[in-house]
Structure 1
Amino acid sequence: MKPLANFIMRGYSPATLVATVAGLLSLLIPFVGLISSAAVGLVTLRQGARPGMLLLGTSTLASGLIAWLALGSPLIGLGLLLVLWVPIWGLAIILRSTRALNLTVQLAALGGIVVVLVVRLIVNDPESYWRELIEPLRQSLLNDGLVEAEASEVLFARLTQWMTGAFATALVLQYLASLFLARSWQARLYNPGGFGAEFRALRVGSPVGWLFVLVLAWGLVAQGLALDLIPILGLLLFLQGLAVIHHLHELRKVHQGWLVALYVLLVFFMPQMVLLLISLGLIDLWADIRARVEQRVSGTGKS
């Protein structure tokens, strides 16, 4: 990835090329959008808001022109601007000006909460809206004999209750992943090891933990909006849990294979691992696992 970051920082033309091509490819391969957003984030983090805005303009014009020539409509360029580039540009400005990853992550989550509220204001009945969208999928599964009618009704009814929050959480996760990628590129080019130390120190704050517990209790009783907020707050605790693991890995000088194994387990046993890391992040908010282990390690070294 370092050669790609070097290429992006050569000037506006290479940066525009990467942001535009990756942005258009994301219409076919969604994960490629991370590279497009990260290119905008890297330029903004390194050079500031105005150069980042200039990159937004050139990339929008380039993608709009390509979309107009290929599809007859330049609106795809505007869509990429609003969905992929403006949010990461804003987060990069915040991180550059404050140098506080904690605050930036919290504000990203706040943006997710705003998305939830906007969806609920625009759509009178979000559950019915999501039900209409995913009903063809249920029918397809029924026709293929993969699920039973009654079981699928219960399953998809439960899914619709979580879809608004899951949608907002997915957006927040995408933007944070792009921001982290851009920050890691910046560190590799100009401050080796800087992003690792920054991420290992990530703390989302004890108020997030208390709010998560309260919303979780609220969701068990009333559901509705609470179920939309649980995934967003859970994402913050999940990231803190990951930060704890990386911090302990660095303190104990454990083999890199342990981290690889963690991410492999996260892929194949995602629900269980996500809950485990959320729990670890929640515990760390009050028990400060990292400080305790650091004291123990330093104490052992002194002896």
Structure 2
Amino acid sequence: MRALADFVMRGRKQATLVVVASAALPMLFWLSAAVSSLVLLRRGLSDSLGVVAWALLPGAVWWYLGDPRVPMVLLGTLALALALRSELPWRQVMLYSVGLGVVYALVLGAVFDEPIASLSGEVQKLLPQALPGVWEQMSGDEQARLEAVLTGVITGLLAALLQMLTLVSLMLGRYWQGVLYNPGGFGREFRELRFPPLLGLTLLAATLLGPNLGAGTAMLTPLCSVPLMFAGLALVHGLVAQGRLGRFWLIGMYVTLVLFVQLLYPLLAFLAVVDSLLDFRGRASRNRGSGPENG
């Protein structure tokens, strides 16, 4: 991957070639977003506009064909890259990603309203089996309200996938920037990701209470959980870097995340909230420096 970053940073022609080719190919649009963010982070907005404009051309074609994900992820990644370039901390970038996820959800709800409604209808058919006895006792208005909330959650889930892909693309661009110009810089930044107690509890409350506040806020449940999940990953990386955990924990965590995402994802989010209250990494650093000077 470093060879690709070296090639991209050789000049504008090389960068334009990579972003256009990856945006035009199916399932590689995340690479176009990552490369574009690298160029923006290193050279600034004015010098990267030419590259980004070319990358938007295949994105516009994809949108015309009915798939808005390419330009959405590209523009979203660049927006977060601008925030990161202005030296905002990662926790603030993560919060901005929630607002970006809301925009994603609104666009997806408008473009894919029929497929989302169809998917929601299929899930609703399973509700009598998932809620035996309870579903039959619900009134017609309560069932309709639950169906609307379900549609909002599904839309939020789809938007959260794009939100995560946007953040991963930004992290890849930042990682490339660190490898080329500031070795180890991205790792130090990411391991410091931690939310203050108030923000951590607010994200948790929005995740848990979003569906209870109405169909319009139901999408917040998956969107607000994404920053917490990344903060949980940063916690594990930080504890490994401090020597509190062995490196095999990282391997096991990512393997488990791929195979059993439905189990590990909420656990990481919960650990992030607990860490916002207890600051495990800060406690470990203070404990190492609190012993007597003579040993």
How many angstroms does 1:210 deviate by? 2.6
CA deviations on 1:59-103 (whole Å, 9 max, x unpaired) are: 345x489x7xxxxx9957x96773242222222121111242222
2:287 is the alignment partner of 1:296: yes
Please give the TM-score of this superposition, normalised by the length of structure 2. Answer: 0.80
Q: Which residue of 1 aligns with 2:48?
A: 52
How many angstroms does 1:58 deviate by? 2.9
Q: Note if contact 1:187-1:194 (Cα within 8 Å) is conserved in structure 2.
A: yes
Q: Where do residues 207-286 of structure 1 align in structure 2 (5 Å cutoff)?
A: 207-216=198-207, 218-219=209-210, 221-252=212-243, 254-286=245-277
How many angstroms does 1:130 deviate by? 1.6
2:79 is the alignment partner of 1:90: yes
How many angstroms does 1:223 deviate by? 4.8
Which residue identity does 2:99 align to in structure 1? L
Q: Where do residues 86-125 of structure 1 align in structure 2 (5 Å cutoff)?
A: 86-116=75-105
> Matched residues in 1 for 2:50 and 2:77: separation?
14
Query: Which aligned segments of 4 or more residues in structure 1 are displaced greater than 6 angstroms?
Result: none
Structure 2 vs 1, CA of residues 235 and 216 (structure 1 numbering), >3 Å: closer, same or farther? closer
Q: Which residue of 2 aligns with 1:142?
A: none
Count of matched residue pairs = 277
Q: Where do residues 33-52 of structure 1 align in structure 2 (5 Å cutoff)?
A: 33-52=29-48
Which residue identity does 1:42 align to in structure 2? L
Q: Which residue of 2 aligns with 1:24?
A: 24
CA deviations on 1:236-273 (whole Å, 9 max, x unpaired) are: 11111111100000001754332111100111111110
Q: Which residue of 2 aligns with 1:145?
A: none
Which residue identity does 2:31 align to in structure 1? I
One of 100, 118, 122 as aligned partner of 1:132: 118
Give the CA RMSD over aligned residues.
Answer: 3.4
Identity of aligned residues (%): 30
Structure 2 vs 1, CA of residues 219 and 88 (structure 1 numbering), >3 Å: closer, same or farther? closer
Q: Which residue of 2 aligns with 1:146?
A: none
Q: Note if contact 2:29-2:70 (Cα within 8 Å) is conserved in structure 1.
A: no
Q: Which residue of 1 aligns with 2:143?
A: none
> Matched residues in 1 for 2:219 and 2:63: separation?
34
How many angstroms does 1:301 deviate by? 9.3
Q: Which residue of 2 aligns with 1:143?
A: none
Q: Return 5+ residue gaps in structure 2 as ranges.
A: 131-146
Structure 2 vs 1, CA of residues 151 and 208 (structure 1 numbering), >3 Å: closer, same or farther? same
Which residue identity does 2:203 align to in structure 1? F
Moved more, 78-87 or 243-252: 78-87
Which residue identity does 1:17 align to in structure 2? L
CA deviations on 1:180-224 (whole Å, 9 max, x unpaired) are: 000000000000000000000012333332323433453464452
Which residue identity does 1:110 align to in structure 2? G
Structure 2 vs 1, CA of residues 52 and 79 (structure 1 numbering), >3 Å: closer, same or farther? farther
> Matched residues in 1 for 2:73 and 2:208: separation?
34
